[in-house]
Amino acid sequence: MFKKITAVVTALTVTFTLTACGGAGSTVQAEGKKTYKVGICNYVDDASLNQIVNNVEDRLAAIGEEKGVTFDISYDNCNADANVLSQIIANFGSDKVDLMVGVATPVAMSMQSATEDSGIPVVFAAVSDPVGSGVVESMEAPGANITGTSDFLDTNAVMNLILAENPDIKKVGLLYDVGQDSSTTAIADAKAFLESKGIEYVEHTGTNVDEVSLAADAFISDGVEAIFTPSDNTIMTAELSIYEKLADAGIRHYAGADSFALNGAFLGYGVDYANLGVETADMVAEILLNGADPAKTPVKTFDNGTATINTDICKKLGLDFDELSKTFGPYCTKVEAITTAEAFE
């Protein structure tokens, strides 16, 4: 079931002491080099999450080269199937990995529960609301055997972009999957913001591509002028199926990650997922090589200040990227352009 990836390392011989935070004690000495077994599970194939995985793997390879160690990586993707996810985690346990990496909230929650007795360290990536979802006790002191990186979204910042582009907007759509914990807080914040401004909102949800496509049709019938989606993996997966009909209807889709814009949304606002992957790998290395305690390692958060605009959609909507950059500039750290594609290279 696993895709095996072994980080390339130098021939340098070094000795490390396995710390108490390690789980099954599987670290071995091979060819004069320490080998650490790492199990990575991705929640679903989408541009953002795949970008994280690629950067975790690349960064661990670089660290292995620098430190003279090997990270023996087992990678799998559960494709949003809870039964498959449980089996993948069980396989990691049987394989006696030294550490598990869970990409996205559902994976992190399952790993947290499955490793309570074994004590295998878990480093999560892209958990939008670590405290609200119950993955950690607090951002500063996660507790137990888990820590990681969060792609927490500043929802009000996205709402401000919507108003900056259309100060007289009357109706906004909220598109999300009710089963995604990452969407719960963001949607509640969006409702509170819109209510405070006296702006009507309509919400439609979906749990798969077909349902999301029907939701998009409903928004068009409702006459919404813009749609907001947080960093919701279900909607991200379906974006390529809905972006053209939304653009044809003149609806701006604002979403909580640049990968949405890559897949056809008008604007993605959020963290740099490549950097998030690098930082996740650094946390893995701190735990395995330097004995950092996950329970006392603060969850890493990032600046949500980058707005990524799809220039193909701009043209279809009759908008000018340079003018939009000036409009959004005061509300962002930076504004970047992207064109529609299916995946990050």
Give pLDDT tens digits for 77-98.
999 999 999 999 999 999 999 9
Hey, what are 270's tokens?
Answer: 């959020």
Any domain includes 215: yes
Q: Give the per-residue pLDDT at 345.
A: 59
Any domain includes 166: yes
Exposure b/e, 279-310, CB count within 10 A at least 16 = b: bbbbbbbbbbbeebebbebebbebebbbbbbb
* Residue 308 · residue 338 · CB < 8 Å: yes
Give pLDDT tens digits for 124-178.
999 999 998 999 999 999 999 999 999 999 999 999 999 999 999 999 999 999 9
* Average of per-residue pLDDT across 291-309: 95
Dist. CA 321–CA 158, nearest whole Å? 17
Any domain includes 345: no
Co-location of 20 and 116 in the same domain = yes
Dist. CA 215–CA 203, nearest whole Å? 9
Q: Where are the alpha helices (DSSP H) in the chain?
A: 47-67, 82-94, 105-114, 155-165, 181-196, 209-222, 233-248, 258-262, 273-290, 311-317, 321-328
CATH code of the domain covering residue 127: 3.40.50.2300
Any domain includes 77: yes
Confidence of residue 23 (pLDDT cuts 50, 70, 90): very low
Dist. CA 85–CA 81, nearest whole Å? 6
Co-location of 331 and 199 in the same domain = yes
Hey, what are 176's tokens?
Answer: 């999300």
* Residue 316 · residue 252 · CB < 8 Å: no
Any domain includes 10: yes
Of how many residues is the chain composed? 345
In the chain, the percentage of residues whose pLDDT exceeds 90 is 82
Residue bearing the bigger pLDDT, 344 or 90:
90
Co-location of 100 and 8 in the same domain = yes
Dist. CA 149–CA 130, nearest whole Å? 9
Co-location of 145 and 180 in the same domain = no
Co-location of 178 and 287 in the same domain = no
* Average of per-residue pLDDT across 247-258: 96
DSSP code of 18? P
* Average of per-residue pLDDT across 266-283: 95
Dist. CA 71–CA 282, nearest whole Å? 12
Co-location of 83 and 127 in the same domain = yes
Q: Give the per-residue pLDDT at 24.
A: 44
Dist. CA 174–CA 229, nearest whole Å? 6
Is the confidence at residue 6, as pLDDT, over 70? Answer: no
Residue bearing the bigger pLDDT, 25 or 333:
333
Q: If we measure between CA atoms, which residue out of 299, 337, 277 comes closest to residue 63? A: 277
Q: Which of 12-16, 240-244, 323-327 has the lowest mean pLDDT?
A: 12-16
Q: Give the per-residue pLDDT at 15.
A: 34
Dist. CA 113–CA 238, nearest whole Å? 29
Q: What is the 3-state secondary structure (H, E, C) of 148-211?
A: EECCCCCHHHHHHHHHHHCCCCCEEEEEECCCCHHHHHHHHHHHHHHHHCCCEEEEEECCCHHH
Confidence of residue 8 (pLDDT cuts 50, 70, 90): very low
Q: Which of 31-45, 191-205, 303-317 has the lowest mean pLDDT?
A: 31-45
Hey, what are 295's tokens?
Answer: 């329970």
Any domain includes 343: no
Co-location of 183 and 321 in the same domain = yes
* Average of per-residue pLDDT across 264-274: 94
Q: At what angle do helices 47-67 and 233-248 cross, to 10 degrees?
A: 130
Q: Give the per-residue pLDDT at 344.
A: 67
Alpha carbons within 13 A on the beta-carbon side of 198: 2
Hey, what are 86's tokens?
Answer: 């449980």
Q: Give the per-residue pLDDT at 140.
A: 97
Q: Is 19 exposed, middle or buried, given 0-12, 13-18 or 19+ CB atoms closer than 10 A?
A: middle
Beta bridge partners of 76: 41
* Residue 152 · residue 129 · CB < 8 Å: yes
Q: At what angle do helices 47-67 and 273-290 cross, to 10 degrees?
A: 40
Co-location of 62 and 146 in the same domain = yes
Do β-strands 267-270 and 306-310 pair in parallel, antiparallel, or remain unpaired? Answer: antiparallel
Domain extent at residue 127: 3-151+273-296
Any domain includes 344: no
Co-location of 162 and 310 in the same domain = yes
* Average of per-residue pLDDT across 14-27: 42
Q: Give the per-residue pLDDT at 13.
A: 34
* Average of per-residue pLDDT across 44-60: 94
Co-location of 180 and 122 in the same domain = no
* Average of per-residue pLDDT across 12-21: 36
Mean pLDDT of the chain: 91
Overall domain count for the chain: 2
Co-location of 117 and 166 in the same domain = no
Give pLDDT tens digits for 196-236.
999 999 999 999 999 999 999 999 999 999 999 999 999 99
Co-location of 8 and 46 in the same domain = yes
